[in-house]
Chains A and B, each alone.
Chain A
Amino acid sequence: MLKSRVRWLLFVLVLVCAQAAIGQASSPSSTSAAEDRLVKLEQQAADAKGSADNAWMLMSSALVLMMTGPGLALFYGGLVRKKNVLSTMMQSFALMALVTVLWAIVGYSLAFGSGGSFIGGIQHLFLRGVGAQPEAAYAATIPQQTFMVYQLMFAIITPALITGAFAERMKFSAMVLFMTLWSFIVYDPMAHMVWGKNGLLNAALGGRFPTLDFAGGTVVHVTSGVSALVCALYLGRRLGYPKEPMPPHSVVLSFIGACMLWVGWFGFNAGSALSAGALATSAFVATHFAAAAAVVGWSGAEWIRNGKPSALGAISGAVAGLVAITPAAGFVGPMAALAIGLFAGIFCYMMVAKVKAKFGYDDSLDAFGVHGAGGTIGALLTGVFASSAINPILKDPQGNTVASGLIEGNAHQLLNQFIGVAIAWILAIVGTIVILKIVDVTIGLRVSDDHEIQGLDLTQHGEEGYYWEMQV
């Protein structure tokens, strides 16, 4: 009995030892386990980076939306007369809704679908195929849906900037039709040319004329600013301009709006790194430094010329600097950013204070003087100051990094910047004239003289911004 038990025990022992021996000897299976763990680890690291990038990009998307509402709405709302405050704010807000719907149905596909040199395709109509999977050509670490919603915020603020030029005199219905057409005819093609796959001006994806535009100097500010000038010229001046005084009804509102624009612009520019790494930091720093230098530039110029540095001047200077650094943000260091900002502050001040008065056009809230002029010189100065040490974006056919800007020795880039700016100007001028003509002959652009005198709040929206009836 006992003997048979011992024998049984021995047998089990042998089995266990054998198994252990086999386990030790079979090295292939242990390697594959290690490899599995490595693959898993790499996946986890990629996931972690993806989550970090995604967090920053969602945050940035929200910041850019905040630039339109309430940022731009307050900035512009304060600059108009009391009777037009709501209609002006409403234009920005309405675009937050209108452009979003257009973007979902067709806009994103036209701008970022793969297509030709000038416009994208139709494969993303109704956001088909835009989900959690990254689109590696644009941003390899975030869901394409994040990229899509981030770009949407740019598509919203760009037309909203134009509203400053035709403030206080355009019908709301005309604004809606104009902006719908403008999104398709001007914005989507321009965004595709500069940032889309196969785009004519795309510097990162092999465009014919690689134009450096980090966050939208040409796409956002030149197109909106130049279209704004065309609108101001086509619609004509406000009744009474320039004889009748039309000072801002509340620089306080504008002040709050401008501060929100400054903060929101970190999402606009640093977010354009499309990731949360060192490039985002570099763009963040450049953005801030340019804004600060532009305040110094504008306020200094104003102080010398008028004897006083005004609050409106300081905040306008900040916006001018932010506009000018937009194309350069991810390509230049802090010192170049200071130079660009300082120059932009002085230049834009001269544009709104001298050039506008000289030519007599009524760019009511200076959408051209700040965005058109600031965007243009910013895009050109990007070709001067861009540094491959900050962002090695330009490569030779062998894949080696080459010099970026004029100072680094790439004079040719300045020519490419000129081409990019020229295309943006031409597209904006031609597109806007055509659209204005269409809207003019179909529903008419301007409100009647009576309505303009009463104010757009009452005549377009049936309400007043400041309703002060005697209350008990």
Chain B
Amino acid sequence: MTKVEAVIQSFKLDAVKEALHEIGVEGMTVLEARGHGRQKGHTEFYRGREYTVDLIPKIKLEMVLADGMVDKAVQAIILAARTGKIGDGKIFLTRVDEAIRIRNDERGEGAL
């Protein structure tokens, strides 16, 4: 099993969700997040005073997938979330040791 974490542009959430549903991803967790990569932030002015906002609102998706699904899911996210401009986000993959369904103690890929 692999955990897929994707940080994407907020306005791309619907497109990415749609793309993942199409390839059969059934569950995910979505978080509102703030952060920056090399993109850095932007400046705002309040009564003439300049503020640098370097933590930009983003969406973070988390899902744990059976190994067979991972490549398809990564491709789907890239296709849906890419604008080609700086700030499109990143995807991280991590091995997951175990998954447990709380309702019936089911374990492994069957619990996903």
Contact = CB atoms under 8 A, between A and B. Distances in A.
Interface of A: 242, 245, 247-248, 302, 305-306, 308, 310, 312-313, 316, 349, 352-354, 357, 366
A312 B49 CA distance: 12
B48 A357 contact: yes
A353 B49 CA distance: 6
Given A248-B46, A353-B48, 5 more contacts: A306-B45, A310-B46, A312-B46, A352-B48, A366-B47
Contact of B47 (A242, A308, A316): A316
A306 B48 contact: yes
B75 to A, nearest CB: 35
B18 interface: no
B11 interface: no
* Interchain residue pairs A-B with the least CB separation, the first 10: A353-B48, A245-B51, A306-B45, A352-B47, A247-B51, A247-B46, A312-B46, A248-B46, A352-B48, A353-B47
Nearest to B47: A352
Which one of B44, B47, B49, B51 has the highest number of Cβ atoms from chain A below 10 Å of its Cβ? B47
Interface string B18-55: 00000000000000000000000000111111011000
A357 B51 CA distance: 13
A93 to B, nearest CB: 24
Interface residues of B, number: 8
Contacts of B47: 312-313, 316, 352-353, 366
A252 to B, nearest CB: 14
Nearest to B45: A306
B32 to A, nearest CB: 13
Contacts of B44: 247
A313 B48 CA distance: 9
Q: From DSSP, what is the main secondary structure of chain A's interface residues?
A: helix
A366 B46 CA distance: 12
Contacts of B49: 242, 353, 357
A357 B46 CA distance: 12
Contacts of A305: 48
Nearest to A316: B47
A349 B46 contact: no
Nearest to B43: A306
Contacts of A357: 48-49
B3 to A, nearest CB: 23
A352 B48 CA distance: 7
Contacts of A306: 45, 48
Contacts of B45: 302, 306, 308, 310
Contacts of B52: 245
A305 B44 CA distance: 13
Contacts of B48: 302, 305-306, 349, 352-354, 357
Contacts of A353: 47-49
B22 to A, nearest CB: 32
Nearest to B52: A245
B36 to A, nearest CB: 15
24 contacts: A245-B51, A245-B52, A247-B44, A247-B46, A248-B46, A302-B45, A302-B48, A305-B48, A306-B45, A306-B48, A308-B45, A310-B45, A310-B46, A312-B46, A312-B47, A313-B47, A316-B47, A349-B48, A352-B47, A353-B47, A354-B48, A357-B48, A357-B49, A366-B47
A316 B46 CA distance: 11
Interface in B46-86: 46-49, 51-52
Nearest to A349: B48
Nearest to A369: B47
Nearest to A251: B46
A242 B48 CA distance: 13
A354 B49 CA distance: 9
A366 B47 CA distance: 9
